[in-house]
Amino acid sequence: MSAENSATGAGTGTAPLVPLHCLRHLEPGPPRLGALPTGTPVWLVSRHADVRQVLTDPRLGRAPLYAPDAPPVSLTPNLLDAPQSLLNIDGTEHQRLRRTVQRAFTPRAIARWRPWVASVVEALIDELIDQGPPADIVAAYTRPLPVAVISRLMGLDGLDGKRLAHWSDHALSTIAHSAEAIGNAMAEFAAFGASVIAERRDRPGDDLVSSLLTAAAEDGSITEQQLITLVIGLVVAGHETTMTTLGNALVYLLGDGRDAWQRLASDEASAAAATEQLLRAVPLGDADHLPGLLRRTVEDVEIGGVVIPAGSVVAADTGAANVDPEVFTGDLLTELFSPLAAPMYTFGAGPHHCLGAWLARMELELALHRLARRLPSLRLARPTEQIDWRRGLLTRSPNALQVAW
């Protein structure tokens, strides 16, 4: 997987990339026109309040992005462009599909998994310590943790990690892979999703796939294709972004932010506060391929004093909004353990607010706190300039991260 993805740096230049916490964001201001990589004009929305409006105002939606008259928004469509998926439908139809899985992802439902997730965290740290330094913390920790969690939740215990990594890379590819390669990988991934569904229909269990099938059968309006896309979407969304966030958080915490490591170890509440700040200030990826969370207006909408015409593509730049100086003051280092001054939009807002937000938070809190507690002297073994990044995807994170203690 890492060998495969290293090759994808081609076309994106070979100069060292800065860590995600060092990215510069768009200067917040009124909505302004830019262009997507497809050439489609896009309204870039960057201020905190304006981003919130884009994500919550019902006059903007996801479905209109995939309407027959819509301009192209992706050079090579990936899993996130599947038109009938949870991400790309709105209103009642969206709500009915989301209901099939929503109950499993409420804060209360997720909290029940906490002791089990903590045990996975501890087991991975045990192995890391047994193996001894130096070690690649991505291979040993940031990747296997979220994969183990989503596999258990969905009952995919036999899932081959290499196949999963292959599918995930293609699912979120922007320029890393050809349209044909993405199409092939997604067809294979969908076949896997269909086989999991068939298996759970025969032998239901206490897993998320079984419960979503029950809910979908009760609802009656959900298509087989939507179920398949939902299952494979959950597999990817359930681990990729958590892995990315954890990897990038460690790049910061074991480097520029190293002073906070001891306090992270002190208690779970400190780790929880730091998790929120890290989620706010360390973006999931570069904005080159996608300048924000996309929506399209269904009528004229005034946003931040600018009238945006019906049918326009709008990008809510959550990275910029999350550091809008009108709302957030101070840098990550001084604010790391402070409560957020305002909501952050890393998980979005409105109807499409990230389903897995509470699961991701819990995994990150436990992963950071327990690692800091068990390995107080953990440090990066190489300078950040030498990091081999996964490139050409919607997210960017280290392919490998060498650490020592």
Partner 1 sequence: MTAGPQAGADAVVVRVDRDRCIGSGMCALSAPGSLALGADGLAEPVAGHGADGEELTPELTEAVDFCPVEALTLYSARGGHRIAPAE
Q: Which residues bind partner 1 (CB under 8 A)?
A: 52-53, 55-58, 91-92, 95, 98-99, 102-103, 105-108, 343, 347, 349-351, 353, 355, 357
Cis peptide before 134 (omega within 30 of 0): yes
Residues composing the chain: 405
User: Distance of CA 34 to CAs 44, 180, 316, 324, Å?
Assistant: 6, 28, 12, 19
Closer residue to partner 1 (CB): 97 or 372 = 97
CA 331 to chain centre: 23
**CB-nearer residue toward partner 1: 349 or 366:** 349
* Residue placing its CB nearer to partner 1 in the complex, 356 or 392: 356
Residue 247 or 350 having the CB closest to partner 1: 350
| Eight-state DSSP code of residue 339 | P
Contact 243, 142 (CB under 8 A): yes
Tell me the closest approach of the beta carbon of residue 304 to partner 1, in angstroms. 15
**Residue with the two structure tokens 């809510």:** 316
**Residue 60 C-beta: closest distance to partner 1, Å:** 12
The least distance separating partner 1 from the CB of residue 96, rounded to whole angstroms, comes to 9
CB of 162 to partner 1, least distance (A): 33
Residue type, 155: G
**Cβ closest to partner 1, residue 115 vs residue 339:** 339
Nearer to partner 1, 32 or 103 (CB): 103
Question: Which residue, 86 or 138, is less far from partner 1 as judged by CB?
Answer: 86
User: Minimum distance from CB of 107 to partner 1 (Å)?
Assistant: 5
Least Å distance, CB 55 to partner 1, is: 8
- Give the nearest distance from C-beta 295 to partner 1 in angstroms: 14
Alpha carbon of 118 to those of 138, 157, 228, 260, 273: distances in Å?
A: 18, 18, 30, 21, 18
Measured over the CA atoms of residue 109, residue 111, residue 115 and residue 116, the dihedral's sign is positive
Residue 278: C-alpha distances to residues 7, 10, 123, 165, 311 (Å): 29, 29, 24, 24, 35
CA distance 265 to 374: 8
The nearer residue to partner 1, 261 or 347, going by C-beta atoms, is: 347
Q: Which is nearer to partner 1, 56 or 84 (CB)?
A: 56
- Residue 316 phi/psi, 5-degree rounding, is -85, 105
Task: Specify whether the CB–CB gap between 249 and 367 falls below 8 A.
Answer: no
**What single letter denotes the amino acid at residue 108?**
R
For the bound state, the minimum distance from the C-beta of residue 269 to partner 1, rounded and expressed in Å, comes to 17
**Residue 100 to residue 217: CA distance in whole angstroms:** 9
Given a contact cutoff of 8 angstroms between Cβ atoms, the answer to whether 219 and 99 are in contact is yes
CB of 106 to partner 1, least distance (A): 6
Nearer to partner 1, 52 or 289 (CB): 52
Radius of gyration of the chain (CA): 21
Please give the Cα distance from 331 to 345 (Å, whole number).
17
Round to the nearest angstrom and report the end-to-end CA distance of the chain.
Answer: 26
Rounded to whole angstroms, the Cα distance separating 150 from 349 reads 23
- Closest contact distance (angstroms) between CB of 341 and partner 1 is 12
